[in-house]
């Protein structure tokens, strides 16, 4: 059995071809990866992913609920006490009061929610319910 020797030039040519093929494969993988990154960085996709995370995370939902209760409470308190004043000092005082009320309400949102539910139930119980009357023909 005769052992054929591969010439150094042929070995070098085969190694270059293998490296070129590897380079092409890695370049194609890199392009695919960049396309995925480009798609994920589009504003609409960022928004979709953010909303999906918010929908799936109970902790984020709870924190958003607390923030909404706090902001609403602060805003309502400011409107009730200061209305649409033009006085810059009253506006500043209203903003400070709104900020404080927002923080307090956000920290006590569970209590506020409970009181709001009880108030709603009380009001709903006081509203007379009309009974459906079926007219005979």
Q: Which pLDDT tens digit goes with each residue over 91-133? A: 888 888 888 888 887 788 778 778 878 888 888 888 876 655 5
Return the closest-CA partner of residue 91 out of 80, 105, 78, 73. 78
Average pLDDT, the chain: 82
What's the predicted TM-score (pTM) here? 0.41
Mean pLDDT for 51-61 is 79
Cα 94 to Cα 76: distance, rounded to the nearest angstrom: 11
Give the integer Cα–Cα distance in Å for 134 and 113: 39
pLDDT for the residue 35? 92
What does the alpha-carbon distance between residue 78 and residue 69 come to, in Å, rounded to a whole number?
A: 14
Residue pair 89/82 in contact by the 8 Å Cβ criterion:
no
Confidence category of residue 25, pLDDT binned at 50, 70, 90 = very high
Q: Is the pLDDT of residue 79 over 90?
A: no
Task: Determine the average pLDDT of the residues in 58-86.
Answer: 80
Rg over alpha carbons for the chain, rounded to the nearest Å, is 34
Q: How many residues does the chain have?
A: 137
pLDDT at res. 131 = 58
Decide: residue 70, CB within 10 A, 0-12 exposed, 13-18 middle, 19+ buried.
Answer: buried
- Residue 35 token pair: 């396309």
DSSP, residue by residue, 107-118: HTHHHHHHHHHH
Q: Between these two residues, 6 and 135, which has the higher pLDDT value? A: 6
């Amino acid at each position: 059995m005769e052992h054929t020797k591969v010439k150094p030039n042929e070995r070098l040519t085969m190694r270059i071809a293998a490296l070129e093929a590897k380079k092409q494969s890695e370049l194609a993988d890199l392009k695919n990866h960049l396309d995925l990154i480009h798609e994920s960085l589009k504003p609409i996709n960022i928004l979709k992913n953010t909303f999906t995370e918010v929908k799936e995370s109970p902790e984020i939902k709870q924190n958003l609920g607390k923030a909404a209760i706090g902001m609403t409470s602060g805003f309502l308190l400011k409107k009730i006490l200061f209305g649409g004043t033009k006085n810059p000092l009253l506006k500043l005082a209203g903003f400070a009061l709104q900020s404080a009320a927002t923080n307090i309400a956000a920290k006590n949102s569970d209590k506020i929610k409970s009181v709001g539910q009880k108030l709603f139930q009380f009001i709903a119980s006081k509203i007379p319910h009309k009974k459906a009357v079926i007219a005979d023909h």
